[in-house]
Amino acid sequence: MKDCYMCGAHDRELRPYGVNRQWVCFACAFSTPEAEAAAKAAFDGQMATVVAGMKPGQVVVLGVGDEGPKALYPAQLKDALGGLDDNSSPYN
Protein backbone atom coordinates (compact mmCIF):
# COMPACT_ATOMS: atom_id res chain seq x y z
CA MET A 1 0.00 0.00 0.00
CA LYS A 2 1.21 3.45 -0.86
CA ASP A 3 1.26 6.17 1.76
CA CYS A 4 1.86 9.87 1.32
CA TYR A 5 5.47 10.37 2.37
CA MET A 6 4.57 13.65 4.07
CA CYS A 7 1.30 13.00 5.96
CA GLY A 8 1.03 9.20 5.81
CA ALA A 9 -2.40 9.25 4.20
CA HIS A 10 -3.32 6.24 2.11
CA ASP A 11 -7.02 6.97 1.66
CA ARG A 12 -6.62 9.49 -1.12
CA GLU A 13 -5.14 9.84 -4.54
CA LEU A 14 -1.36 9.81 -4.51
CA ARG A 15 1.14 10.60 -7.22
CA PRO A 16 4.88 9.88 -7.46
CA TYR A 17 5.76 13.57 -7.37
CA GLY A 18 7.37 13.85 -3.95
CA VAL A 19 11.05 14.38 -3.22
CA ASN A 20 12.93 11.51 -4.86
CA ARG A 21 9.68 10.48 -6.61
CA GLN A 22 8.05 9.41 -3.35
CA TRP A 23 4.25 9.11 -3.32
CA VAL A 24 2.53 12.28 -2.20
CA CYS A 25 -1.08 13.48 -1.88
CA PHE A 26 -2.24 16.63 -3.63
CA ALA A 27 -2.55 18.70 -0.45
CA CYS A 28 0.98 17.86 0.69
CA ALA A 29 2.44 18.31 -2.79
CA PHE A 30 1.46 21.97 -2.60
CA SER A 31 1.82 22.49 1.16
CA THR A 32 5.23 24.16 1.09
CA PRO A 33 7.25 25.95 -1.57
CA GLU A 34 9.82 23.13 -1.39
CA ALA A 35 7.18 20.40 -1.82
CA GLU A 36 5.60 22.28 -4.70
CA ALA A 37 8.96 22.73 -6.40
CA ALA A 38 9.69 19.01 -5.98
CA ALA A 39 6.26 18.08 -7.36
CA LYS A 40 6.64 20.32 -10.38
CA ALA A 41 10.16 19.04 -11.06
CA ALA A 42 9.02 15.41 -10.76
CA PHE A 43 6.06 15.98 -13.06
CA ASP A 44 8.17 17.86 -15.60
CA GLY A 45 10.77 15.10 -15.53
CA GLN A 46 8.18 12.41 -16.04
CA MET A 47 6.53 14.37 -18.85
CA ALA A 48 9.88 14.85 -20.58
CA THR A 49 10.56 11.10 -20.35
CA VAL A 50 7.14 10.26 -21.78
CA VAL A 51 7.45 12.77 -24.60
CA ALA A 52 10.96 11.56 -25.46
CA GLY A 53 9.67 7.99 -25.79
CA MET A 54 6.54 8.79 -27.80
CA LYS A 55 5.93 6.97 -31.06
CA PRO A 56 4.33 8.64 -34.09
CA GLY A 57 0.59 8.95 -33.61
CA GLN A 58 0.63 8.75 -29.83
CA VAL A 59 -0.76 11.43 -27.57
CA VAL A 60 0.09 12.26 -23.96
CA VAL A 61 -2.73 11.47 -21.57
CA LEU A 62 -3.06 12.63 -17.98
CA GLY A 63 -5.29 11.06 -15.39
CA VAL A 64 -4.98 7.47 -16.55
CA GLY A 65 -3.88 5.41 -13.59
CA ASP A 66 -1.82 6.97 -10.85
CA GLU A 67 1.65 6.88 -12.34
CA GLY A 68 1.40 10.22 -14.13
CA PRO A 69 1.38 11.09 -17.82
CA LYS A 70 1.37 8.30 -20.37
CA ALA A 71 1.77 8.11 -24.14
CA LEU A 72 -1.07 6.24 -25.81
CA TYR A 73 -2.47 5.80 -29.28
CA PRO A 74 -5.88 7.43 -29.73
CA ALA A 75 -7.44 3.99 -30.22
CA GLN A 76 -6.35 3.11 -26.66
CA LEU A 77 -8.04 6.10 -25.07
CA LYS A 78 -11.53 4.71 -24.69
CA ASP A 79 -10.32 1.65 -22.77
CA ALA A 80 -7.72 3.62 -20.82
CA LEU A 81 -10.24 6.21 -19.73
CA GLY A 82 -12.82 3.51 -18.88
CA GLY A 83 -15.91 4.52 -17.03
CA LEU A 84 -16.67 7.49 -19.22
CA ASP A 85 -20.19 7.69 -20.47
CA ASP A 86 -20.07 6.86 -24.17
CA ASN A 87 -21.82 10.12 -24.97
CA SER A 88 -19.18 12.16 -23.15
CA SER A 89 -16.19 10.77 -25.02
CA PRO A 90 -14.95 12.58 -28.11
CA TYR A 91 -13.30 9.30 -29.20
CA ASN A 92 -16.38 7.25 -30.06
The site for Zn ion (CB under 5 A) is made up of 4, 6-7, 9, 25, 28
| Secondary structure in 3-state letters for 11-40 | CCCEECCCHHHCCEEHHHHCCCHHHHHHHH
Minimum CB distance to Zn ion smaller for 43 or for 61: 43
Select 39 or 72, whichever has its Cβ closest to Zn ion.
39
CB of 84 to Zn ion, least distance (A): 28
**Least distance in Å: CB of 26 to Zn ion?**
8
Say if residues 64 and 11 touch (Cβ distance below 8 Å): no
Sign of CA dihedral 50, 52, 55, 57: positive
How many other CB atoms are found less than 10 A from the CB of residue 35?
19
Nearer to Zn ion, 28 or 72 (CB): 28
* Least distance from Zn ion to the Cβ atom of residue 29, Å: 8
